[in-house]
A = this chain, B = another copy of it.
C-alpha cells in the first residue's frame, strides 16, 4: 500500500509517518518510483505498535526506539526483552531525595524476603525507592506500610501475566506480548485501580455517614 493508505488505515498523519521513518522507528518501504514507496502489512502492524507505545505507553521516541530495537533482535532472550520494556517505563533521570538510600534498602529487603529474582541494576528498584522516600519526606509513612500488600497483589498478577505470554508459540506474538503486557498492562491496572478507589471511597464514606450521622 502507499503511505496515504497506511495513514488512512491507522489514523496517523502522513507527516508523522514520515517522522517515524526518519527516526528509524518504522522500516523504509519498498521503493517503487523515485518519489514513491510501497508499504506492507508488516509496516501497518509496526505502526500500530508504535502508536500504542506513544498514546498509551506515553513513551518518548528514544525509549520507543530502544524497545523496537530489542523486539527486532533475533536472538535476544525473552528475559532481556522484558528488562528493556521495563526500562522504557522508567523516567530517564531523577533527583536524589533525602532518604533515597534508606528507601532503596527497604525495596531490596522486600525483594529478598520474597526471594524474588530481580536484576540489582533494574531501574524499578530506584523507581519504587523514589516513591517511598517521597512519602517519608511528606510525612505519609503509614502509606508505606501498604507496600507488602502491593507486593502480594503484584506477585499473583505477575505469575499469570508472564506465564500467559511466555506460553505463546509464535515468537513475534510472544515478543510483542512481553512489551505490551509490561507497558500497556501498567496503564490498564492504573485505570482499574482508580475505578476501584472510587467505589471504596463511595462505600466507606456512606458507611461513615451511617455510623456517625451528624
Contacts and interface: CB of A to CB of B under 8 A. Distances in A.
A94 B157 contact: no
Contacts of A208: 166
- Residue in A137, A154, A155 with the greatest tally of chain B CB atoms within 10 Å: A154
B157 A122 contact: no
Interface centre among A137, A182, A198 (most CB of B within 10 A): A198
Contacts of A195: 107, 111, 116, 118, 122, 124-125, 128, 154
A158 B188 contact: no
Nearest to A87: B194
A82 B197 contact: yes
A200 to B, nearest CB: 4
B190 A89 contact: yes
Interface stretch (A24-32, A51-59, A63-71): A51-59
A178 B122 CA distance: 29
B86 A116 contact: no
Interface in A42-93: 45, 48-49, 51-52, 55-56, 58, 77-79, 82-83, 86, 89, 91
Interface residues of A, number: 92
A109 interface: no
A187 B77 CA distance: 27
A131 interface: yes
B205 A78 contact: yes
Contact of A116 (B177, B182, B199): B199
Interface in A142-185: 142-143, 146-147, 149-151, 153-166, 173, 176-177, 180-182, 184-185
A200 B162 contact: yes
12 contacts: A48-B138, A55-B134, A86-B197, A116-B195, A116-B199, A122-B194, A127-B187, A128-B188, A140-B181, A143-B181, A159-B204, A163-B204
Contacts of A138: 45, 48-49, 52, 176, 180
